[in-house]
A and B are shown apart, each in its own frame.
Chain A
Amino acid sequence: MADEEKILEVRDLTVKVGNVALVENISFAVKKGETVLVIGPNGAGKTTLFRALIGSVPYFGEVKWGEGASIGYVPQKVDLERDLPITVREFFMLKTGNIGEAEVKEALLDVKLESEYAEKGISELSSGELQRILIAWAVLGHPKVLLFDEPTASIDVAGQETIYELLHNLQDTHDLTLIMISHDLTVVYKYATQVLCLNKEQICFGSPREVLTPEELSKLYGPELTFYHHLH
């Protein structure tokens, strides 16, 4: 992979709390325009990996972003207080400073919401709407990379499909490199160009068809997968 194509290179990344490693020896590289899916069981360190990528937790090893690689980040959840007095437009302004009417409209359109949402309070939004607003917020100012941490709960399957399509469209219109955490293996086959399997250590990295063999999957989800087999 030529250096100028790389937008992210991670080498021997380890995040520790005390003596316990949350993720250990992760190495991978991402090219511009790719869709990388990070999969792994609960507690595998997926969110920790993201937080290391944005510099939110201290880490060992190397995280090298390509030149000018601005990042948009959609966290798994934002602990907003229910009565937080802030409108969607004001929430956007926390990132951009002053923002024009057209920009607000465009940002909302990006996530398939009508322009009336600009004046809604953040606390009035449903969890699905809030997630869209967080995505719109993340792509404000046209970052080159979008990190998307999928929520584990609270959004139904139909809703989830729309979110993936929406992200896919955004990727085309905004020329984004997309790195996302998913719990849904069907998404991997549909959208991913690369997949990173994580269970504290790196289990695999490569294109989905190459690396997602039954052996790798049982290594990744091992005991749980066996458990399901017993059930059926």
Chain B
Amino acid sequence: MAAGLSLTYILIAGSFIAAAGGLLGSFALLRRMALVGDALSHVALPGIAIALMLNLNILWGSAVFLVVGTFFIWLVENKTKLPVDTVVGVFFALSLAIGALLATEEEILDALFGSIVDLSISDFWIAAILSLAIIIFILNYSKRFALTFISNDLARSTGLKPSILELGFLLIFALAVAVGIKLVGALLMGSVIIIPAAASRNIARSFNSYLFMSALIGVFASIAAILLSINYDLTPGPAFVLVAGALFFISIFFRKN
């Protein structure tokens, strides 16, 4: 642990990030944007590379690129009616290319796969506070998001504005990716958001349990991954994906219907 933060801090930060990611993932699956969300996280890469060049915290670099990139994607989708996966696909490839040109190989590896065990105290507070803010925001708007993603027309008939809610959701999504990059890296951040929610969906019968189990499975996988990576000298990002992936396969056996 290079920065000298105790394991407790790392576990708490990891849990917060995973809880926010899992919760967000429940809604991302409702919106059928599992793969889009995954690709979107790569938009952070040029921001990370620039932050590294300027010696800034990579979180700010990735946050700026993600938020601006997401807004731009929303705009292009709304103005051109291109399918969102086409738009994100183009942005994803561009970002990866720019990121690869700007950063060195070792830095790119850290950015791609994460390094939560090198957490600094400011990283800790940023991750904890932003994750908590994301959780509160999502819970506060959960009914509106759910209705919008289940049926745009039903949402509109009650006076909701789907396009504004979707922009709000995408921006929160971008923020969560920026925060999560420290834990699992840009390449695997999609997994923090998608896999726990996908496992939860297999076993949950009600919406409340769906949200709760998504967050819980994320937290469990995060704690297990951090402990595994410290004890066996593994990279935490891939360890998280393996634990969460295993939970997903187990959940298939408990699938309802």
Q: Are B153 and A56 in contact (CB under 8 A)?
A: yes
B29: nearest chain-A partner, CB-CB: A81
Q: Report Cα–Cα, A73/B157, bound state, in Å.
A: 6
Q: A55-B156, A73-B157, A95-B158 are in contact. Are A85 and B150 (CB under 8 A)?
A: no
Q: Are A93 and B143 in contact (CB under 8 A)?
A: yes
Q: Report Cα–Cα, A51/B154, bound state, in Å.
A: 10
Q: Are A85 and B143 in contact (CB under 8 A)?
A: no
Q: Is A86 an interface residue (CB 8 A)?
A: yes
Q: A82-B257, A95-B158 are in contact. Are A75 and B150 (CB under 8 A)?
A: no
Tally of B interface residues using CB under 8 Å: 24
Tell me which of A56, A86, A94, A137 contacts B156 (CB under 8 A): A56
Tell me which of A56, A80, A97 contacts B150 (CB under 8 A): A80
B2 CB to closest chain A CB, in angstroms? Answer: 42
Q: Which residues of B contact A82 (CB under 8 A)?
A: 257
Q: A83-B256, A93-B143, A94-B146 are in contact. Are A54 and B205 (CB under 8 A)?
A: no
Q: How large is the interface on A (under 10, 10 to 19, 20 to 34, 35 or more residues)?
A: 20 to 34
Q: Which residues of B contact A123 (CB under 8 A)?
A: 257
Q: Are A54 and B204 in contact (CB under 8 A)?
A: no
Bitwise interface map of B from 191 to 222 toward A, beta carbon under 8 Å scored 1, else 0: 00000000001101111111000000000000
Q: Are B207 and A90 in contact (CB under 8 A)?
A: yes
Q: Report Cα–Cα, A80/B30, bound state, in Å.
A: 10
Bitwise interface map of A from 90 to 127 toward B, beta carbon under 8 Å scored 1, else 0: 10011101000000000000000000000001011000
Q: A85-B206, A90-B207 are in contact. Are A79 and B151 (CB under 8 A)?
A: yes
- 8 A-B pairs within 8 Å (CB atoms) are namely A78-B151, A78-B154, A83-B255, A85-B205, A86-B210, A90-B207, A97-B143, A121-B206
A84-B30, A85-B206, A97-B143 given; 11 more Cβ-contact pairs under 8 Å:
A51-B153, A55-B156, A56-B153, A78-B150, A78-B153, A90-B206, A90-B208, A93-B143, A94-B143, A94-B150, A121-B205
